[in-house]
Amino acid sequence: MTPQRLQHETAILEKYFPKKYKFENLYLPNELLDVGVKTQSGKVYRLNIRLKPDYPNSLPEVYVVYPLPLRRHDGSAIDGASHELHTLSNDGDKIQICHFKPNNWNPIQSLYKIVLKARIWLEAYEGHLRTGKPVDDYLNS
Protein backbone atom coordinates (compact mmCIF):
# COMPACT_ATOMS: atom_id res chain seq x y z
CA MET A 1 0.00 0.00 0.00
CA THR A 2 1.10 3.55 -0.41
CA PRO A 3 2.51 5.61 2.47
CA GLN A 4 -0.59 7.82 2.30
CA ARG A 5 -2.87 4.81 2.66
CA LEU A 6 -0.76 3.47 5.53
CA GLN A 7 -1.17 6.79 7.32
CA HIS A 8 -4.95 6.61 6.81
CA GLU A 9 -5.20 2.99 8.04
CA THR A 10 -2.93 3.64 11.01
CA ALA A 11 -4.99 6.62 12.15
CA ILE A 12 -8.16 4.49 12.20
CA LEU A 13 -6.54 1.47 13.84
CA GLU A 14 -4.88 3.63 16.49
CA LYS A 15 -8.27 5.05 17.37
CA TYR A 16 -10.10 1.72 17.58
CA PHE A 17 -7.42 -0.87 18.41
CA PRO A 18 -4.63 1.13 20.05
CA LYS A 19 -1.42 -0.82 20.59
CA LYS A 20 -3.02 -4.09 19.47
CA TYR A 21 -1.68 -4.18 15.93
CA LYS A 22 1.50 -3.95 13.92
CA PHE A 23 2.27 -3.88 10.24
CA GLU A 24 4.92 -6.23 8.93
CA ASN A 25 6.85 -6.32 5.66
CA LEU A 26 5.67 -2.85 4.73
CA TYR A 27 5.85 -2.02 1.03
CA LEU A 28 6.84 -5.60 0.20
CA PRO A 29 4.68 -8.10 -1.69
CA ASN A 30 4.01 -10.02 1.57
CA GLU A 31 2.80 -6.99 3.54
CA LEU A 32 0.50 -7.87 6.44
CA LEU A 33 -1.31 -6.53 9.46
CA ASP A 34 -0.89 -8.56 12.63
CA VAL A 35 -3.63 -7.83 15.17
CA GLY A 36 -4.60 -9.24 18.53
CA VAL A 37 -8.28 -9.35 19.44
CA LYS A 38 -10.19 -10.45 22.51
CA THR A 39 -13.69 -11.88 22.23
CA GLN A 40 -16.52 -11.22 24.66
CA SER A 41 -15.61 -14.42 26.54
CA GLY A 42 -12.10 -13.09 27.12
CA LYS A 43 -10.35 -15.49 24.74
CA VAL A 44 -7.46 -13.99 22.81
CA TYR A 45 -6.84 -14.58 19.11
CA ARG A 46 -4.21 -13.33 16.69
CA LEU A 47 -5.12 -12.50 13.14
CA ASN A 48 -2.92 -11.92 10.12
CA ILE A 49 -4.46 -9.79 7.40
CA ARG A 50 -2.44 -10.26 4.23
CA LEU A 51 -2.45 -7.40 1.78
CA LYS A 52 -1.88 -7.71 -1.92
CA PRO A 53 0.37 -5.15 -3.61
CA ASP A 54 -2.63 -3.37 -5.11
CA TYR A 55 -4.40 -2.92 -1.74
CA PRO A 56 -6.91 -1.25 -1.22
CA ASN A 57 -8.18 -2.15 -4.66
CA SER A 58 -8.07 -5.85 -3.85
CA LEU A 59 -9.64 -7.71 -0.94
CA PRO A 60 -7.12 -8.79 1.74
CA GLU A 61 -7.04 -12.35 3.09
CA VAL A 62 -7.67 -12.96 6.79
CA TYR A 63 -6.02 -15.78 8.75
CA VAL A 64 -6.31 -16.93 12.34
CA VAL A 65 -2.74 -17.70 13.44
CA TYR A 66 -3.36 -18.20 17.17
CA PRO A 67 -4.61 -20.35 18.79
CA LEU A 68 -4.13 -23.33 16.52
CA PRO A 69 -5.56 -25.74 15.81
CA LEU A 70 -9.03 -24.28 15.89
CA ARG A 71 -11.42 -27.02 16.84
CA ARG A 72 -15.00 -27.78 16.02
CA HIS A 73 -17.72 -28.32 18.61
CA ASP A 74 -17.00 -32.07 18.47
CA GLY A 75 -13.31 -31.53 19.24
CA SER A 76 -11.96 -32.31 15.77
CA ALA A 77 -9.58 -29.82 14.18
CA ILE A 78 -10.87 -27.53 11.46
CA ASP A 79 -8.93 -28.88 8.55
CA GLY A 80 -9.73 -26.71 5.55
CA ALA A 81 -12.47 -25.12 3.54
CA SER A 82 -15.93 -25.39 5.07
CA HIS A 83 -19.15 -23.72 3.97
CA GLU A 84 -20.68 -24.44 7.38
CA LEU A 85 -17.82 -22.76 9.24
CA HIS A 86 -17.05 -20.04 6.69
CA THR A 87 -13.41 -21.09 6.41
CA LEU A 88 -11.39 -21.19 3.20
CA SER A 89 -8.18 -23.06 3.92
CA ASN A 90 -5.85 -24.48 6.55
CA ASP A 91 -2.17 -24.96 5.78
CA GLY A 92 -1.26 -26.02 9.31
CA ASP A 93 0.16 -22.61 10.23
CA LYS A 94 -2.99 -20.61 9.78
CA ILE A 95 -6.70 -20.89 8.98
CA GLN A 96 -8.18 -18.57 6.40
CA ILE A 97 -11.60 -17.26 7.34
CA CYS A 98 -14.30 -15.56 5.29
CA HIS A 99 -15.08 -11.90 5.75
CA PHE A 100 -16.17 -9.34 3.12
CA LYS A 101 -17.96 -10.54 0.04
CA PRO A 102 -15.84 -9.44 -2.93
CA ASN A 103 -18.78 -7.47 -4.31
CA ASN A 104 -19.05 -5.47 -1.07
CA TRP A 105 -15.38 -4.57 -0.98
CA ASN A 106 -14.16 -1.24 -2.31
CA PRO A 107 -11.25 1.08 -1.46
CA ILE A 108 -13.49 3.16 0.82
CA GLN A 109 -13.55 0.24 3.27
CA SER A 110 -10.65 -0.15 5.68
CA LEU A 111 -8.61 -2.68 7.60
CA TYR A 112 -10.58 -1.64 10.71
CA LYS A 113 -13.78 -2.92 9.08
CA ILE A 114 -12.04 -6.18 8.21
CA VAL A 115 -10.96 -6.63 11.83
CA LEU A 116 -14.57 -6.05 12.93
CA LYS A 117 -15.77 -8.64 10.40
CA ALA A 118 -13.24 -11.08 11.81
CA ARG A 119 -14.41 -10.26 15.37
CA ILE A 120 -17.95 -11.15 14.30
CA TRP A 121 -16.67 -14.40 12.75
CA LEU A 122 -14.90 -15.22 16.05
CA GLU A 123 -18.09 -14.64 18.06
CA ALA A 124 -19.98 -16.89 15.62
CA TYR A 125 -17.20 -19.48 15.95
CA GLU A 126 -17.43 -19.38 19.75
CA GLY A 127 -21.22 -19.69 19.37
CA HIS A 128 -20.55 -22.85 17.34
CA LEU A 129 -18.29 -24.18 20.10
CA ARG A 130 -20.96 -23.45 22.70
CA THR A 131 -24.01 -24.80 20.85
CA GLY A 132 -22.78 -27.02 18.02
CA LYS A 133 -24.67 -24.93 15.48
CA PRO A 134 -22.72 -24.18 12.30
CA VAL A 135 -21.12 -20.76 12.01
CA ASP A 136 -23.31 -20.35 8.93
CA ASP A 137 -26.37 -20.13 11.21
CA TYR A 138 -25.00 -16.88 12.59
CA LEU A 139 -23.49 -15.22 9.53
CA ASN A 140 -25.49 -13.73 6.71
CA SER A 141 -24.16 -15.13 3.43
Partner 1 sequence: MENENKATNQEITNSLEQMNKGLSNNSNQLVFDPTTGEFVVAKPNQQVSPDATTINSIAQDGFAK
Give the neighbor-by-neighbor strand order of the sheet with 44-50.
21-24, 32-38, 44-50, 61-66, 95-97, 87-90
Q: Examine residue 124 and tell whether it contacts partner 1 (CB under 8 A).
A: yes
Instruction: Return the closest-CA partner of residue 49 out of 2, 117, 132, 103.
Output: 117
| Cβ–Cβ under 8 Å, residues 49 and 115 | yes
Beta carbons within 8 Å of 37's beta carbon, 6+ residues apart: 17, 20, 44, 45, 46, 47, 115, 118, 119, 122
The closest alpha carbon to 44, from 22, 20, 61, 60, belongs to: 20
In 3D space, the residue among 70, 130, 128 whose CA is nearest the CA of residue 138 turns out to be: 128
- Residue 14 or 26: which CB sits closer to partner 1? 14
| Among the residue ranges 25-33, 50-58, 66-74, 118-126, the one whose residues contact partner 1 (CB under 8 A) | 118-126
116 binds partner 1 (CB under 8 A): yes
- Residue 22 touching partner 1 (CB under 8 A): no
57 binds partner 1 (CB under 8 A): no
- In angstroms, the CA 112 to CA 21 distance is 11
Of 41, 57, 58, 106, the residue at the interface with partner 1 (CB under 8 A) is: 41
Which residue of 83, 106, 107, 132 would you call a contact of partner 1, by CB under 8 A?
83
The residue (of 4 and 40) whose beta carbon lies closer to partner 1 is 40
Beta carbon nearer to partner 1, 43 or 66: 43
Select from 3, 4, 29, 40 the one that contacts partner 1 (CB under 8 A): 40
What are the residues binding partner 1 (CB under 8 A)?
Answer: 15-17, 20, 38-41, 83, 86, 98-102, 104, 113, 116-117, 119-121, 123-124, 126-127, 130-131, 133, 136-141
